[in-house]
Chain A
Amino acid sequence: MNICDMSLTELKGKLESGELTSLAIVEAYKAAYEADNKTEKPLKGYIEFYADALDAARKADEARANGDTRPLLGLPFAAKDNISIKGKPCTCGSKILAGYVAPYNATVADRLIAAGAIPMGRTNMDEFAMGSSTEYSCYGPSRNPVNRDLTPGGSSGGSAAVVAGGQAPFALGTETGGSVRLPASYCGLYGLKTTYGTLSRYGVVAFGSSLDQVGLFSKKIDDIGLALSVMAGRDAHDDTSADLDFAALAKLTPAEIKGLKIALPKEFMDAKGLDPEIASIFEKACEWFRSRGAVVETVSIPVLEAAIGCYYVIALSEAASNLSRFDGIRYGLRKDAGTGYDDLYVATRSDGFNAEVKRRIVIGNYVLSTHFSGDCYKKGMSVRARIQKDVGEVFKKYDVLLCPTSPTVAFKLGSKVDDPLAMYLSDLYTTFVNLARIPSLSVPMGETGAGLPVGIQICGPHFGEERILKIAKAWEATK
Chain B
Amino acid sequence: MSGNANMNAKGATFNPGATVHTDGVGTAELHYEVIIGCEIHCELLTKTKAFCACENRYGGMPNTRVCPVCLGLPGAMPKVGREYVEFGAIAGFALDCEVARFTKFDRKHYFYPDLVKGYQITQYDLPLCTNGVVMINLARSDETPRLKKVRIERIHLEEDVGKSLHIEGAHSYIDYNRSGVPLIEIVSKPDMSSPEEASLFMQNIREILRYIGATDGNLEEGSMRCDANINLRVVENGKEWRTPISEIKNMNSFKAIRDACTYEIGRQLKEFREDRQVFSQGFKVTMGWDDARGETVVQRTKNSFIDYRFVVEPDIKPFTLSEDFIASARAKVGERPAEKRERFKREYGLSDFDVNTLTADRDLAEWFESAAKASKDPKKAANWVLAEVLAILNDRGIGLGDLKITPQHIAGLVNEVASGAISSKQAKEVFAEMLESGEMPSAIVKSRGMTQVSDSGAIEKIVDEVIAANPQALDDWRKGKTNVSGWLTGQVMKLSKGQANPATATALVQKRLAELQ
> A240 at the A/B interface (Cβ < 8 Å)?
yes
> In the assembly, what is the distance between CA of A202 and CA of B79, in Å?
10
| Contacting pair B74 A240 (CB below 8 A) | no
Of the stretches B31-39, B293-301, B306-314, the one at the interface is B306-314
Identify which of residues 305-338 in chain A touch chain B, using a CB-to-CB cut-off of 8 Å.
317-318, 320-321, 323-327, 329-331
Of the stretches B12-20, B108-116, B372-380, the one at the interface is B108-116
Chain A nearest Cβ from B166, distance in angstroms = 11
Per-residue 0/1 for A17-37: is the Cβ within 8 Å of any B Cβ (1 yes, 0 no)? 000000000000000000000
> A205 at the A/B interface (Cβ < 8 Å)?
yes
Q: Which residues of B contact A92 (CB under 8 A)?
A: 74
Q: Which residues of B contact A206 (CB under 8 A)?
A: 75, 315
Given A102-B75, A325-B118, A331-B73, A210 contacting B314 (CB threshold 8 A)? yes
> A422 at the A/B interface (Cβ < 8 Å)?
no
> B438 at the A/B interface (Cβ < 8 Å)?
no
Identify which of residues 330-380 in chain A touch chain B, using a CB-to-CB cut-off of 8 Å.
330-331, 341-342, 345, 365, 368-371, 377
| Contacting pair B309 A368 (CB below 8 A) | yes
Q: Which residues of A contact B211 (CB under 8 A)?
A: none
Q: Which residues of A contact B314 (CB under 8 A)?
A: 208-210, 240, 318
| Contacting pair B116 A237 (CB below 8 A) | no
Partner of B316, one of A82, A106, A239: A239
| Contacting pair B74 A90 (CB below 8 A) | yes
Chain A nearest Cβ from B174, distance in angstroms = 8
Using CB atoms, name the residue of chain B closest to A204. Answer: B75
Number of inter-chain CB pairs below 8 Å? 104
| Contacting pair B68 A104 (CB below 8 A) | yes
| Contacting pair A205 B74 (CB below 8 A) | yes
Q: Which residues of B contact A368 (CB under 8 A)?
A: 109, 309-311
Q: Which residues of B contact A205 (CB under 8 A)?
A: 74-75
Chain A nearest Cβ from B315, distance in angstroms = 5
Identify which of residues 53-109 in chain B touch chain A, using a CB-to-CB cut-off of 8 Å.
68, 71-80, 107, 109
| Contacting pair B317 A240 (CB below 8 A) | yes
Q: Which residues of A contact B315 (CB under 8 A)?
A: 201, 206, 209, 238-240
Using CB atoms, name the residue of chain B closest to A241. Answer: B77
> A455 at the A/B interface (Cβ < 8 Å)?
no
> In the assembly, what is the distance between CA of A341 and CA of B114, in Å?
11
> A236 at the A/B interface (Cβ < 8 Å)?
yes
Q: Which residues of A contact B113 (CB under 8 A)?
A: 327, 329, 341
Identify which of residues 283-338 in chain B touch chain A, using a CB-to-CB cut-off of 8 Å.
305, 307, 309-312, 314-317
Q: Which residues of B contact A100 (CB under 8 A)?
A: 74
> A103 at the A/B interface (Cβ < 8 Å)?
yes
Using CB atoms, name the residue of chain B closest to A332. Answer: B74
Chain B nearest Cβ from A77, distance in angstroms = 18
> In the assembly, what is the distance between CA of A330 and CA of B162, in Å?
12
| Contacting pair B73 A106 (CB below 8 A) | no
Given A209-B314, A369-B307, A369-B309, A237 contacting B109 (CB threshold 8 A)? no
| Contacting pair B309 A97 (CB below 8 A) | no
Per-residue 0/1 for B151-176: is the Cβ within 8 Å of any A Cβ (1 yes, 0 no)? 00000000000000000000000100
Using CB atoms, name the residue of chain A closest to B112. Answer: A341
> B384 at the A/B interface (Cβ < 8 Å)?
no
Using CB atoms, name the residue of chain B closest to A240. Answer: B317
Chain B nearest Cβ from A324, distance in angstroms = 2
Partner of A106, one of B75, B118, B310: B75
Given A209-B314, A377-B311, A324 contacting B109 (CB threshold 8 A)? yes
Chain B nearest Cβ from A296, distance in angstroms = 35
Q: Which residues of B contact A202 (CB under 8 A)?
A: 75-77
> B119 at the A/B interface (Cβ < 8 Å)?
yes
> B362 at the A/B interface (Cβ < 8 Å)?
no
| Contacting pair B309 A239 (CB below 8 A) | no
Q: Which residues of A contact B71 (CB under 8 A)?
A: 330
Q: Which residues of B contact A329 (CB under 8 A)?
A: 113, 174
| Contacting pair B111 A345 (CB below 8 A) | yes
Given A104-B68, A327-B118, A345-B111, A203 contacting B76 (CB threshold 8 A)? yes
Interface of A is mostly: loop
**Residue of A83, A104, A236, A381 with highest tally of chain B CB at under 10 A:** A104
> A84 at the A/B interface (Cβ < 8 Å)?
yes
Q: Which residues of A contact B117 (CB under 8 A)?
A: 324-325
> In the assembly, what is the distance between CA of A323 and CA of B109, in Å?
11
> In the assembly, what is the distance between CA of A369 and CA of B150, in Å?
33
> In the assembly, what is the distance between CA of A368 and CA of B74, in Å?
22
Given A239-B80, A239-B315, A327-B111, A320 contacting B309 (CB threshold 8 A)? yes
Chain B nearest Cβ from A62, distance in angstroms = 31
| Contacting pair A371 B73 (CB below 8 A) | no
Given A239-B315, A321-B119, A103 contacting B68 (CB threshold 8 A)? yes
> In the assembly, what is the distance between CA of A359 and CA of B276, in Å?
43
Using CB atoms, name the residue of chain B closest to A197. Answer: B317
Chain B nearest Cβ from A427, distance in angstroms = 19
Partner of B75, one of A90, A210, A320, A365: A90
| Contacting pair A239 B317 (CB below 8 A) | yes
| Contacting pair A84 B311 (CB below 8 A) | no
> In the assembly, what is the distance between CA of A82 and CA of B75, in Å?
8
> In the assembly, what is the distance between CA of A8 and CA of B168, in Å?
59
| Contacting pair B311 A325 (CB below 8 A) | no
| Contacting pair B116 A371 (CB below 8 A) | no
> In the assembly, what is the distance between CA of A155 and CA of B312, in Å?
25
Identify which of residues 183-209 in chain A touch chain B, using a CB-to-CB cut-off of 8 Å.
201-206, 208-209
Partner of B74, one of A325, A369, A377, A381: A325
> In the assembly, what is the distance between CA of A238 and CA of B316, in Å?
8
Q: Which residues of A contact B77 (CB under 8 A)?
A: 201-202, 237-239
Q: Which residues of B contact A345 (CB under 8 A)?
A: 111
> In the assembly, what is the distance between CA of A257 and CA of B30, in Å?
87
Chain A nearest Cβ from B171, distance in angstroms = 11
> In the assembly, what is the distance between CA of A324 and CA of B118, in Å?
5
> In the assembly, what is the distance between CA of A237 and CA of B74, in Å?
14
Chain A nearest Cβ from B105, distance in angstroms = 10
Per-residue 0/1 for A57-83: is the Cβ within 8 Å of any B Cβ (1 yes, 0 no)? 000000000000000000000000011
> In the assembly, what is the distance between CA of A203 and CA of B117, in Å?
15
Using CB atoms, name the residue of chain A closest to B67. Answer: A104
> In the assembly, what is the distance between CA of A318 and CA of B311, in Å?
8
> In the assembly, what is the distance between CA of A353 and CA of B79, in Å?
29
Q: Which residues of A contact B72 (CB under 8 A)?
A: 325, 330
> In the assembly, what is the distance between CA of A201 and CA of B74, in Å?
11
Chain A nearest Cβ from B477, distance in angstroms = 89
Chain A nearest Cβ from B85, distance in angstroms = 13
Using CB atoms, name the residue of chain B closest to A211. Answer: B314
Using CB atoms, name the residue of chain B closest to A344. Answer: B113
Chain B nearest Cβ from A233, distance in angstroms = 16
> In the assembly, what is the distance between CA of A203 and CA of B68, in Å?
9
Chain B nearest Cβ from A312, distance in angstroms = 15
Q: Which residues of B contact A238 (CB under 8 A)?
A: 77, 79, 315
| Contacting pair A103 B74 (CB below 8 A) | no
Identify which of residues 176-192 in chain B touch chain A, using a CB-to-CB cut-off of 8 Å.
none
> In the assembly, what is the distance between CA of A473 and CA of B102, in Å?
43
> In the assembly, what is the distance between CA of A82 and CA of B118, in Å?
19
| Contacting pair B79 A321 (CB below 8 A) | no
Chain A nearest Cβ from B53, distance in angstroms = 10
Q: Which residues of A contact B112 (CB under 8 A)?
A: 341
> In the assembly, what is the distance between CA of A381 and CA of B318, in Å?
14
Using CB atoms, name the residue of chain B closest to A235. Answer: B77
Besides the known contacts A203-B68, A209-B314, A238-B79, 4 further A-B residue pairs in the complex with CB atoms under 8 A apart: A83-B75, A84-B74, A239-B317, A371-B307
Measuring CB to CB, which residues of chain B are less than 8 angstroms from any residue of chain A?
68, 71-80, 107, 109, 111-113, 116-119, 174, 305, 307, 309-312, 314-317
29 contacts between A and B (CB under 8 A): A82-B74, A84-B75, A92-B74, A102-B73, A102-B75, A104-B68, A202-B76, A204-B75, A206-B315, A237-B77, A239-B77, A239-B79, A318-B311, A321-B107, A321-B109, A324-B109, A324-B117, A325-B72, A325-B74, A325-B117, A325-B118, A329-B113, A329-B174, A330-B71, A331-B73, A341-B111, A341-B113, A368-B311, A371-B305
Complex A-B, nearest 4 residue pairs according to Cβ-Cβ distance, in ascending order: A324-B118, A209-B314, A368-B309, A210-B314
